[in-house]
Amino acid sequence: MTIKELEELIKSKGTYISVNTFLSTTRNQNLAFVYSGGSENTDPSKASVMLDIEANTQLQGAKPFASIAHLIDITRDENNKMWVIKLMLVNEEANDLKPLFETMKKNNIAQDTDLVSLGNIFSRMGKFNEAEKYYRELLKALPQDDPNAPKCYGALGDLFAAQDNHHNAYSYHTKALELE
């Protein structure tokens, strides 16, 4: 992260922030340290940062791919030469954010999300290989009776149709209809 971005985050401590990028995540703190660059960072215009995200998925209205979080704390870990930023996922019922979510919904900026949404985002970005890979991995992880399975097959069908692969598009759309 650039030093300027880090300084802006430090000023925002205790507020809500919006993230408009994909984050590489892991539950393994040692692996996160490696990804951050840690003590290997030699670029003075950049800072090594690890995000510690508290994501209570049992929260009503919480989404696994949320873009808004409460910035709880920012500390410097001198031993590892990196910054640790603590964030907490917020749901749509957060009182001071409810008007923002309502406006976003009204303007079609934020829709309800589910597990298929990330693949849809890749597809809209034209990253068809990433979308296909995500949908296939999701299908491996989901039981056939999961409500996301037909959505996933349908999304694969749409993906192949967009690439003029009508045979595969037909197969995946048929599978989606069978599961609904």
| Residues 102, 124 within the same domain | no
| Residues 80, 124 within the same domain | no
| Residues 122, 78 within the same domain | no
| Residues 22, 92 within the same domain | yes
Of the two residues 125 and 146, the one the predictor is more confident about is 146
Question: Tell me, what amino acid is at 12?
Answer: S
Q: Give the best-scoring range by mean pLDDT among 22-31, 37-46, 133-142.
A: 133-142
Reading the block at residue 82, the tokens are: 């990196």
| Residues 48, 90 within the same domain | yes
Domain annotation covers residue 112: no
Q: Tens of pLDDT along 97-128?
A: 555 555 545 544 444 445 677 787 778 778 88
Among 82, 106, 130, residue at a domain's last position: 106
| Residues 80, 147 within the same domain | no
Residue indicated by tokens 């692996």: 31
The pLDDT-based confidence of 178 (bands split at 50, 70, 90) is very high
Of the two residues 11 and 97, the one the predictor is more confident about is 11
Of the two residues 32 and 3, the one the predictor is more confident about is 3
| Residues 131, 63 within the same domain | no
Please state the domain count of the chain: 2
Give the DSSP H/E element, type plus range, for residue 1. Answer: none
Sign (positive/negative) of CA torsion 156, 162, 163, 165? positive
What pLDDT score does 22 carry?
A: 65
Is 114 strand, coil or helix?
coil
| Residues 86, 131 within the same domain | no
Its domain, for residue 135, covers 117-179
Inform me whether the pLDDT recorded for 12 exceeds 80.
yes
Residue indicated by tokens 């030699």: 42
Q: Give the best-scoring range by mean pLDDT among 36-45, 50-59, 135-144, 154-163.
A: 154-163
Inform me whether the pLDDT recorded for 138 exceeds 50.
yes
- Write down the pTM of the prediction: 0.49
| Residues 8, 50 within the same domain | yes
| Residues 13, 102 within the same domain | yes
Can you tell me the distance from the alpha carbon of 56 to that of 64, in angstroms, rounded to the nearest whole number? Answer: 9
Gyration radius of the chain over CA positions? 19
DSSP 23-81: ----S-HHHHHHHH-GGG---TTB--EEEEEE--TTSTT--TT-SEEEEEEEEEETTTT
Domain annotation covers residue 111: no
